[in-house]
Structure 1
Amino acid sequence: MSQSRSTVDRLMADASGRRPRADARRNVERLVEAARIAVAEVGVGVSAHEIARRAGVGVGTFYRRIPSLDALLELVLVEILDEIGELADRAAQDRDPWHGFCAFAASYVRLRAESCGISEALGGACATGLAERLERLREHFRCLVERAQAAGAMRTDLAWQDVPFLLAAAATGGSTVGLRAGDQQWERNLRVILDGLRHAPSGQLPGAAPA
């Protein structure tokens, strides 16, 4: 996929300008793909040994081909956040602001529900290296929410800053109070939240908007 190739190219960059060997590139491609899957399943606490094992290479190969574990994880998270940004750009171009917002919300919550790592990153893990992307994502949220509100499609008594918290709440864990989530639980949660975003307020919201 193009996003993975972009990450591979950045990892394979050689100041000498020499073309990397084919086997070296294959190993980096396998490590990047393994890192994406491991970040989704395990989270940002995944180890270099685990990524190497999933890629089918030795940990020595990992450290010969990858500058550091932190560098690899940051690049993987950056490309995923860039993908979210592209989804937001497409949503902002939808002629129907509410339809565009809902499409983005569904993709965003699905990603949070399916990837431990991106959920952790959006919650503040690796924040230093991802600060620029998170700032862009906040701007995307502001744009999409204010666009839907201006069209009369979303209640106006909430701030755009409320919406990321509401969508994060839709990406629930697998169990609570001894109950197991259904296989479409996040979609059910999101439907209720979207209905709440559209409906007229029943009273003033308590407290201040998130900062």
Structure 2
Amino acid sequence: MNKRDGAVDELLRAVAGGPPRADARRNVERLVLAARAAVAEVGVEVTAHEIARRAGVGIGTFYRRVSSREALLEAVLGEVLGEAAELGGRALADPDPWRGLETFAAGYVRIRAESCGIRDAIGGACGPGLDRILGELRELTRRLVERAQEAGVVRSDVAWQDVPFLLAAVATGERTMGLRAGAEQWERNLRIVLDGLRAAGAASLPGEPPA
């Protein structure tokens, strides 16, 4: 897989007329770190003022260093989703198809569970700017699932399109039906889902797979 530009390099390239000064790079680095933390906690509705405050810069500096709030969020979310895609690439290189799928599923769900913004982005809340990386994640998921099915370790009646929905359901909220989630709730949920994907002892599935 080709080396990806990080969010900092992408943003600097978009606004700089030449090589960036050291202070410009430092400010962009601070904005990227602040934006990653803010979208993880708040989601994609976080404001430019909130990101600037967390970064310790003024709003004027914010707009001198990035073209828009949307461009910053797109770069940051693309960077995080790119990390998930790189995990998928390493999983495909694992000679054990089940272990590869299991490793990718755990890493992907962890990323979803730790960031409100990533959940928003994967759900389509950020427009077409992330279409390419989301398409790459879909393709990696398809290849991982189908490889495991060809090896006979994942039930054959599961469509690969089922798997993103199953993984999305693993990362739950903190409360439901008056119950509080355990400290490792998503890990427990994931284990149940993965066991349900195994070929051995599977019951037939109702309905049609997702479109």
Q: Which residue of 2 aligns with 1:26?
A: 26
The residue type equivalent to 2:166 in the other structure is L
CA contact (8 A) 1:162 1:210 kept: yes
RMSD of aligned Cα (Å):
1.6
Indicate the percent of aligned positions where both proteins have the same amino acid: 66
Pairs aligned (count) = 207
Deviation at 1:167, TM superposition (A): 0.7
For 1:76, the equivalent position in structure 2 comes to: 76
Aligned partner of residue 6 in structure 2, secondary structure: helix
- Cα deviation for residue 15 of structure 1 reads 5.7
Against the structure 1 CA distance between its residues 142 and 69, is the aligned structure 2 distance closer, same or farther, given a 3 Å change threshold?
A: same
Aligned-residue offset at 1:12 = 1.8
Name the structure 2 match of 1:169. 169
Aligned residue number for residue 145 of structure 1: 145
Letter in 1 for 2:116: C
Structure 1 gap segments, 5+ residues each: none
Counterpart of 1:97 in structure 2 is 97
Letter in 1 for 2:35: A
Deviation at 1:32, TM superposition (A): 0.6
Equivalent-residue separation in structure 2 for 1:184 and 1:25 (angstroms): 38
Give, in whole Å, the separation in 2 of the partners of 1:97 and 1:32. Answer: 35
User: 1:170 and 1:43, CA in 2 relative to 1: closer, same or farther beyond 3 A?
Assistant: same
| 1:126 to 2:123 alignment | no
- Mapped partners of 2:123, 2:189: distance in 1: 19
How far is the alpha carbon of 1:158 from its aligned partner?
A: 1.1
TM-score by length of 1: 0.93
C-alpha distance in 2 between matches for 1:73 and 1:16: 22
Distance 1:127 1:141 in 2: 21
Q: Does the C-alpha gap of structure 1 residues 208 and 4 become closer, same or farther in structure 2, counting only changes over 3 Å? A: closer
In structure 1, distance between residues paired with 2:136 and 2:40: 22
Task: Report if the CA contact (8 A) 1:146-1:160 is conserved.
Answer: yes
Q: Does 1:201 align with 2:202?
A: yes
Deviation for aligned residue 1:72: 0.4
Look up the match of 1:160: 160
- Report the equivalent of 2:65: 65
1:27-59 CA-partner distances (Å, limit 9, x unpaired): 111001100111111111110011001101111
Counterpart of 1:86 in structure 2 is 86
CA contact (8 A) 1:31 1:51 kept: yes
Secondary structure of the structure 2 residue equivalent to 1:128: helix
Range with bigger deviation, 20-29 or 55-64: 20-29
Q: Are residues 1:52 and 2:52 paired?
A: yes
Output the CA distance in 1 between the equivalents of 2:27 and 2:4.
13
TM-score (norm 2): 0.93
Following superposition, the deviation at residue 16 of structure 1 comes to 3.5
Residue matched to 1:210: 210
Q: Which runs of 4+ in 1 moved over 2 A?
A: 3-6, 13-17
Q: The residue matched to 1:80 in structure 2 has which SS?
A: helix
